[in-house]
Structure 1
Amino acid sequence: MFLVLVISLGYLFVVLGLVLEGFTYKARPHRASKPSVSSDFGFSVIINYRNEAQNLPALLQSITNLNYDDAKTEFIFINDDSTDSSLNILESFKSVHDTISMHLINRQVKSASAKKDGITQALEIAKHEHIICTDADVILPQRWLMAYEKHYQLLPDLHFIAGPIEMIHSNDVLSQLQHSEMVALQMTTIGGFSIRQPFMCNGANMSFTKTAFKEVNGYKGNDHISSGDDIFLLEKLAAEDVLKCSYLKSQDAVVKTLPKSSWKEMIHQRVRWSQKGKSTKSTLNKLVSFQVLMMNLLFILTPFLWFLSRLNNVQFYSVLIIKIVVDVIVIFIGNRLFSNKKWPIYLLPQLVIYPIVVISIALKSLSKPSWKDRQVEL
């Protein structure tokens, strides 16, 4: 079948091509600009939260462990109508750590997106030109801010930087699968930056300048969509000047986040992620999503098509080999940056289970997802 050949080869060249580009990617000046030697550098870190009492202590502990000058940093926390003890935890932390600059503000509802409202609101009081966004359920590495500063100093004309994310994994299939999936997402993300067609990033680790945000009118035009505070801003800034967008490929900058604890929670989260693609302008984003969906669907259907004699032996084995080889290479390469020595142990169940997860996400995407007791607007 011709369609089988197209899907298989498309998956091979699109996905593997991006990952190989990501593996060889090195940020370098695209113009004749000298690295900055400015000592007057600082960051305003923006963190939106809603009912994160369980996760905030780990985040706050990682903030105290940051290897960076407190005088050059401020943290702006935006409360999105939390009903738990999140605010009390932050207030207590602020009272004890008086050397850390913290602003605790409440979200002013102006759009369908809490994070977009929070970021826009925080920018009004942010004192630094360089902004970093992260989430309340992450753990920050010690040299996180130093890695961003070094990148901005190397490429002083940048107006957007995407940072790496890693799922914390344990000895179970669910967390290992989420870790491998995130590895694949990060490698294709880096590949997009490498070919100067950035199409994806993660709001839990990204940076931009206030000036650039204002120049593209922030989230105007997509603030009716609940999610997408990351990729829609990236799209705008890449359209303004893609050479000023970069990926911070450094182990010092890897932010770690907890995996979902149940299959249902994981699928719901991925549904929110996938539905952002409906509103994206990136052809590459849509192409990668389509290839992943179709190849996983084909992988599931291939045994049945072969049994019904709709595929011959060559087609049958070609699909299986291409899918398995590409996935193994992606995970292997990705774990050179996101270290997980136990991934081979869980490889086989992941290869069998993940296609089913992908199809489940696609079917669930036909309805509106919810997040933290709220309907997600698309």
Structure 2
Amino acid sequence: MQLLIIFLIVITISYVALISALLFGWKRVEKFELKEVAPLNKFSIIIPFRNEAENLPDLLYSLSNLDYPRSYFEIILVNDESEDNSVQACFHFKQSHPDLVFSIINNKRNTNSPKKDAITTALASSRFEYILTTDADCIVPLKWLQAYNERIIETQASLIAGPVSFLNGRSIKEKFLNYLVAFQGLDFMSLQAVGIGAFGLKIPFMCNAANMCYKKEAFLKAEGYCGNSNISGGDDVFLLEKFTELNYPVTFLKSQAAIVKTKPQPSLETLFSQRIRWAAKAPAYKSDFAKLIGAIVLLMNLSLIFTIILVLIEVIHYQFLLFSFALKFTADLSLLYVSANFFGKKLVLSHYLWSSLLYPFFSTTVAIASLFAGFQWKGRSFKK
């Protein structure tokens, strides 16, 4: 029993040290303020979509409002076998906005990853030097391209990752859904904080394709997704890994003017499916730091669950559980606070206590399921 207690203490201290390092890394990534320099860089904005008729109008409207010269960017929408009115919504938008350089193409499937195929398909016909990707259920900010333009001028980076946050939705009548959205918000902010912190530590391993930019030339030299096309997801993370392996300069655009907003999952079922999809690619990570983080987080959550069981059957004293949970609670809150402050989401911290109690069970369930189970996404089934 003494060995179990020592193990719990070691894991807890390791976890706190990890979160402290990520918090240090977060602070090392300076907040980027726009200087309103003249537009210099041109962008091809690639958006894969499948059955997104409900979401596309909001995204397209936000793209039409971009504060950037129309001749300096193009929009390429890639239809991935949509079965709804998505394509009609795109054509309607194109007709009503003749001032935009706008194309709608069909995905060419060659691999096990529809999204990677879609981006590769669009990239082959893209006109400009820099590729920008986002998702069909997102809304981009007014100064999105200007922010990337200035960051490129300043850093000359081959890949720039950007911040993503949830849309502020109206209060939902069903309390469960409100709690589900709040839980997702905290979870998503923690992932963003970890990713940004890793950039600050000069060990980047995580980014989000809903908001990322890279040089087309660098993508082609790195042979794109060659080597991981058998994995359904990871069009963002594996590309970042490739670029870092090749010593291409990468950076993070920590600017509130560049925050892309996306929608939370509408149900517990789709949330689990999304998180399993995200976690399923983890075993293929090459980054030792990513594997270390995954191992420590999993062991921390597993040890908390195991300790709860031992306390309930009166094998160990509850003080050890309180000690471990209190340290984890404080460490997580410190990282979430700076993230919530940056994203303007401080109100969601009011849900932190109950979320922190549920999170070990949620995280562990997702991690275990990702090792053995497939998942459903966009009407398709993906096997493990």
TM-score (norm 1): 0.93
Does structure 1 residue 319 correspond to structure 2 residue 318?
A: no
Alpha-carbon distance between aligned partners in 2 of 1:40 and 1:304, rounded to the nearest angstrom? 60
Secondary structure in 2 aligned to 1:75? strand
1:298: Cα distance to partner?
Answer: 2.2
Give the alignment of 1:72-87 within 5 angstroms. 72-87=72-87
Secondary structure in 2 aligned to 1:88? helix
Counterpart of 1:33 in structure 2 is none
Q: Quick check: 1:169–1:259 contact (8 Å CA) kept in 2?
A: no
Secondary structure in 1 aligned to 2:180? helix
Out of 253, 257, 262, which is 1:252 matched to?
257
Does structure 1 residue 108 correspond to structure 2 residue 100?
A: no
Q: Quick check: 2:304–2:321 contact (8 Å CA) kept in 1?
A: no
Give the alignment of 1:198-237 within 5 angstroms. 198-237=204-243
Counterpart of 2:27 in structure 1 is 23
- Residues 297-319 of structure 1: CA distance to partner in whole angstroms, max 9, x if unpaired? 22233233234454345523320
Equivalent position amino acid for 2:126 in 1: A
Give the alignment of 1:177-326 within 5 angstroms. 177-241=183-247, 244-312=249-317, 314-326=319-331
- Residues 137-191 of structure 1: CA distance to partner in whole angstroms, max 9, x if unpaired? 00111111111001001112x1001111102245521111111111111111011
For the aligned residues, what is the CA RMSD?
1.9
1:38: Cα distance to partner?
Answer: 8.0
Alpha-carbon distance between aligned partners in 1 of 2:153 and 2:39, rounded to the nearest angstrom? 10
Counterpart of 1:5 in structure 2 is 9
Secondary structure in 2 aligned to 1:201? coil
Secondary structure in 2 aligned to 1:335? helix
Out of 338, 341, 344, which is 1:339 matched to?
344
Q: Quick check: 2:373–2:383 contact (8 Å CA) kept in 1?
A: no
Alpha-carbon distance between aligned partners in 1 of 2:24 and 2:181, rounded to the nearest angstrom? 25
1:94: Cα distance to partner?
Answer: 0.3
Secondary structure in 2 aligned to 1:208? strand
Q: CA 1:187 to 1:370, structure 2 compared with 1: closer, same or farther past 3 Å?
A: same
Alpha-carbon distance between aligned partners in 1 of 2:182 and 2:20, rounded to the nearest angstrom? 21
Q: Quick check: 2:47–2:76 contact (8 Å CA) kept in 1?
A: yes
Secondary structure in 1 aligned to 2:281? helix
1:9: Cα distance to partner?
Answer: 1.0
Alpha-carbon distance between aligned partners in 2 of 1:268 and 1:103, rounded to the nearest angstrom? 31
Equivalent position amino acid for 1:329 in 2: S
Out of 353, 356, 376, which is 2:358 matched to?
353
Alpha-carbon distance between aligned partners in 2 of 1:117 and 1:313, rounded to the nearest angstrom? 52
- Percent identity between matched residues is 35
Secondary structure in 1 aligned to 2:343? coil
Alpha-carbon distance between aligned partners in 1 of 2:312 and 2:87, rounded to the nearest angstrom? 59
- Residues 107-130 of structure 1: CA distance to partner in whole angstroms, max 9, x if unpaired? 111111111111111111111111
Secondary structure in 1 aligned to 2:76? strand
Counterpart of 1:34 in structure 2 is none
- Residues 323-364 of structure 1: CA distance to partner in whole angstroms, max 9, x if unpaired? 211121121111121111312321222112222211221232
Unaligned runs of 5+ in 2: 172-177
Secondary structure in 2 aligned to 1:336? helix
Q: Quick check: 2:193–2:336 contact (8 Å CA) kept in 1?
A: no
Alpha-carbon distance between aligned partners in 1 of 2:215 and 2:243, rounded to the nearest angstrom? 10
Secondary structure in 1 aligned to 2:58? helix
Q: Quick check: 2:39–2:149 contact (8 Å CA) kept in 1?
A: no
Unaligned runs of 5+ in 1: 29-36
Alpha-carbon distance between aligned partners in 2 of 1:62 and 1:278, rounded to the nearest angstrom? 36
TM-score (norm 2): 0.92
Q: CA 1:179 to 1:169, structure 2 compared with 1: closer, same or farther past 3 Å?
A: farther
